[in-house]
Structure 1
């Protein structure tokens, strides 16, 4: 793929505005994360208290994301996002005031962290649905990959600048910078021109099936997406919580200490940037890409457990981080393209909940295993389990694709003469049980052909090779 295609989404004016504002906001967000962690650690001297502050920001996702998905499907996105940015800015300013004056102490810091997590949980699905309207279908995957690149680069820059600022003047300035950064997002929301690009379809406000139950009912009828979410959960819980396993390896078998852990964290961050670039260069991000990246990450995790030293461990960590970003970007792309427009917000909410639950389950599990079985054994065991899960998911996806194609090929013959000829040709070219996949260049989302579509699409020669 041409180098220019790596940044294809930037050809759209709306996306350029949004990406720049998002990058500014991400830098501010990670500055605040570092500031909260440092403030809590300084006040308590307890890493457990610091972890509790992080948990408070993540916990609301489990309860509120589904409601954010409903709002994303039912209400206009722009007013919701402007309100969310105002709330974020107010909460960040509150943190700054608390850090400067000491008013409220740690209870106030914890309360603001919880409120920040609640706003983020509701905002997430709305933001994801809104962003998908800024590009066309062909560049959506590229836009998501560039978003991952922006998040990774913003995290590195935000944490680096934050470390300098907090050492010089304390955390209050970090909170003030984050509060100001949300103004960039508000400006972008007003600068974007709605409807400038024929992006992923959205439905009119209020014209969707309402309620959380409708979202769960829809997901139950999407076996391919459920398999992808299940695989994402396993890979996220057993193979993504490297902050735990890297710390255990640094403190244990590698004898690298805190400095080694810092180096490994930097290498991992660089790997996420590499993964975002790899995902951006791919023309399509389908389920085959998901399976290949899952197998690569899982296999390398086993190798990481056997790495003799810090350098060799770092060499394996980098491609694992890259594969993790490819996995996330692929699942996010399929969640956007392969779902009903009326349910897309709730599907994105389910994806957010999956990520939060995988982190909440995987981190303590891996920590417990590292303590009682050993860090190396934990990596090997978790990698083997993730490999088995990826193979099982590949078999399940293949069966679902084959079933969809088989059902499509036995639909009633169309009455129109031209479509009837195309229908017969399709039956000859694709025998029952074969997998037919539509490519993105054909103007429709990638994935298995649905029941009534095969004959119609065949008239335009749209049946692509798997």
Structure 2
């Protein structure tokens, strides 16, 4: 079996991968339905940004405690409870209680995510041998992106035929697949992760550890900046479709599907190469930033889609390499708290970036927003490359022809 598919030898990982494929498909069907519902009802990209912010805010406030609990408590019972709660929240959206109910569901989802994220990460790393973790993360990105393709493609059809309510119901049902997979797993076949000493199990100990890792801090900073201004495409794509591209709900569904296809291609490329290195991270961050700038100049939906495809591929590579380096370059007994820090950074990028991008789309226009954000993230990628080169001793890429060396 090829290295990229090696994790599939593990029965527990196969169960988890299959359940994740179904669950991710349901999640993105709900995202599509919810985004279009909000945009149709309010006509405001800023409102969509507020929903993303409400999902992210609890993670910022509670994520560190979620990481500390993940390093102490058994993961499987907690994950079953989290999936059941998420199913209830999806069904709540069927009540059509207006924008305020959507806000409440988004906030509750964020509270669950603040505890669920670190638990998921630590649980996933226990399913495969340590040497297969990089391949498992890359393969997980591929499967998640495939679920996103299916969810967005089917959701793009259903939202026009049945309305968004059906999408919410399907998402609620998809969580049953995760609960079933968790119930069928063999706990004796899971890898036991080391546990920190009692004096190092708290939130403060985890924060102290992360602050002592300069490479991790630079990677997290890049993740924040490119995430805040370069990864909020659920806001900017909808604004471009409803604005300068003069698209429809079908156009939004098309772009969402293209984005998902690009994400699969990016995951396959990374999993096949096995190169989850800092150089790959820096090069990808620069390329997707330049492409984002260029997307602001797209003349029509098809031109925008042509740029969305490589942007999505690069975004998956960038995010997967970030997650891989964060886990492989840190201690396993700090895994939950390190992942909680990554989740905190991601939530902060949503809190800052989603409303900011939405406000800029409303105030300056979607095109101008993409141009500005692309320029800022390009500078950030270059600055991060210089900082990592100094800390890690990396050789920055050059365009000079190599000088032949004597035999």
Q: Confirm or deny a common fold (TM above 0.5).
A: yes
- The two structures, once aligned, show a CA RMSD in angstroms of 3.2
3-state DSSP class of the match of 2:275? coil
Gaps of 5+ in 2: 396-407
Check conservation: 1:208, 1:342, Cα contact below 8 A.
no
Change (3 A) 1:165 1:268: closer
Equivalent position of 1:226 in the other structure: 217
Q: Distance in 2 between matches of 1:370 and 1:166?
A: 24
Check conservation: 1:69, 1:126, Cα contact below 8 A.
yes
2:76 counterpart (63, 75, 78) = 78
1:386 counterpart (371, 377, 389) = 377
TM-score under structure 2 length normalisation: 0.84
Confirm or deny that 1:242 pairs with 2:233: yes
Q: Distance in 2 between matches of 1:255 and 1:39?
A: 18
Check conservation: 1:37, 1:53, Cα contact below 8 A.
no
Report deviation, 1:67. Answer: 1.6
Equivalent residue runs for 1:85-234 within 5 Å: 85-96=83-94, 98=95, 110-162=103-155, 173-194=166-187, 196=189, 202-204=193-195, 207=198, 209-234=200-225
Equivalent residue runs for 1:440-459 within 5 Å: none
Change (3 A) 1:255 1:24: closer
Equivalent position of 1:420 in the other structure: none
Change (3 A) 1:162 1:311: closer
Equivalent residue runs for 1:286-301 within 5 Å: 286-301=277-292
Q: Greater relative contact order: 1 or 2 (C-alpha under 8 angstroms, separation 6 or more)?
A: 2
Q: Distance in 2 between matches of 1:91 and 1:373?
A: 34
Change (3 A) 1:401 1:63: same
Check conservation: 2:160, 2:249, Cα contact below 8 A.
no
Equivalent position of 2:273 in the other structure: 282
Change (3 A) 1:262 1:203: same
Gaps of 5+ in 1: 403-433, 436-466
Q: Distance in 2 between matches of 1:249 and 1:382?
A: 14
Task: State the number of aligned residues.
Answer: 394
Q: Distance in 2 between matches of 1:173 and 1:242?
A: 24
Check conservation: 2:53, 2:352, Cα contact below 8 A.
no
Equivalent position of 1:65 in the other structure: 63
Q: Distance in 1 between matches of 2:233 and 2:159?
A: 26
TM-score under structure 1 length normalisation: 0.74
Q: Distance in 2 between matches of 1:95 and 1:305?
A: 33
Report deviation, 1:331. Answer: 0.5
Check conservation: 2:49, 2:235, Cα contact below 8 A.
no
Equivalent position of 1:6 in the other structure: 4
What is the CA deviation profile of residues 110-155 of structure 1, one whole-angstrom value per residue up to 9, with x for unaligned ones? 4344323311221111011100111122321221122222222222
2:356 counterpart (345, 350, 365) = 365
Report deviation, 1:272. Answer: 1.3
3-state DSSP class of the match of 1:74? coil
Q: Distance in 1 between matches of 2:4 and 2:160?
A: 37
3-state DSSP class of the match of 1:59? helix
Which protein has the larger Cα radius of gyration, Structure 1 or Structure 2? 1
